[in-house]
Amino acid sequence: MMITRRKLVGSLGVGAGGLLLSGCDRVAGTPAFRSFVEGADGLTIDFTRLVSKRDALAREYTLADLSPVFRANGTRVPAASEYQTLMANNFADYRLRIDGLVRQPLSLSLAQLRSLPVRTQITRHDCVEGWSAIGEWQGPQLAALLDAAKVREGANFIVFHCADVLYNRPYYESIDMVDAYHPQTIIAHSLNGEPLPEKNGAPLRMRIERQLGYKQAKYLRAIEAVASFDAIGQGNGGFWEDVAGYQWYAGI
Ligand SMILES: Nc1nc2c(c(=O)[nH]1)N[C@H]1C(S)=C(S)[C@@H](COP(=O)(O)O)O[C@H]1N2
Ligand SMILES: [Mo]
């Protein structure tokens, strides 16, 4: 389902000024993308093909394909007392922050997020540990929220900060603007038609369907637009990237 910008901006109660470039223009204009392209001197790179390949949709399945159980991996319940308190009250006091390199930082309640236009997608989750599961995810597109927050020119990456801590480090992940504006990149609040279960990342988790399981950040607290992720965690762009040397780009 298409989400119109006006509808989203209206439902969030933020101004409609400062219209941004389209997703592709924005990506092509980022310094990281430009330096990548400019650094390829002499080579003929067909960037239209490069970008459109990354923009291709992950396969979508039907209700008949759903896994009977969508298993959990990693954290099953964040231990932090802040999270426990929010959960005990059914996340009524939860807020998702969208900040960093944006002109209009947002702090959204679950009710606000649930009232936004949704994308529904039945996709296969692939974990590097060797299992897959098919689930139906539902939630607003990240692109719509980034547009509402008015991401600034210098933002090259979107970072997802999570509520759980493993080996004394908060879980986090990050993606570039191609994935951030991919149509199947959503902030999921529902799995298989029900509110997102605790074990799968309640109240909100990312679905970035062109990437592997560890990029699918659960227990979202904040979404931050950054120029670089060098100063976050150990500087490798994600929890497993820092701890175990997993690839930052986990495209599938
Ligand atoms: N916050 C957070 N996000 C996370 C993890 C985690 O432990 N904490 N595990 C990752 C891994 S390795 C996988 S495979 C998926 C598992 O998602 P699931 O628990 O819904 O199956 O979440 C990813 N996102
Ligand atoms: Mo995983």
Ligand 1 centroid distance, CA of 244 (Å): 15
For a ligand 1 pocket test, name from 96, 129, 216 the mutation site with the most ligand atoms within 8 angstroms of its C-beta.
Answer: 216
What pTM, to 2 d.p., does this model score?
0.85
Is residue 30's pLDDT more than 60? no
| Sequential DSSP letters for 47-73 | HHHHHHHHHSPPP---GGG--SS----
Let me know the angle formed at the C-alpha of 146 by 194 and 31, rounded to the nearest 5 degrees: 135
Is residue 69's pLDDT more than 90? yes
pLDDT at res. 6: 47
pLDDT at res. 25: 43
Half-sphere exposure of 56 (CA within 13 A, CB side): 9
Of ligand 1's listed atoms, the one at least distance from the Cα of 127 is 14
Ligand 1 centroid distance, CA of 227 (Å): 25
Is residue 22's pLDDT more than 90? no
Reported as a pLDDT band with limits 50, 70 and 90, residue 52 is: low
Ligand whose nearest atom lies closest to the CA of 188? 1
Is residue 218's pLDDT more than 50? yes
Q: Whose CA is nearest to atom 16 of ligand 1?
A: 73
Give 88-142 pLDDT, tens digit per residue: 999 999 999 999 999 999 999 999 999 999 999 999 999 999 999 999 999 999 9
Q: Whose CA is nearest to atom 12 of ligand 1?
A: 214
Query: What is d(CA 200, CA 46) in angstroms, rounded to the nearest whole number?
Result: 39
Residues β-bridged to residue 197: none
Closest residue by Cα to residue 249 from 200, 188, 208, 219: 208
pLDDT at res. 53: 87
Which protein residues are within 6 Å of ligand 1, measured from CB?
A: 71-75, 127, 162, 164, 171, 199-201, 213-214, 216-219
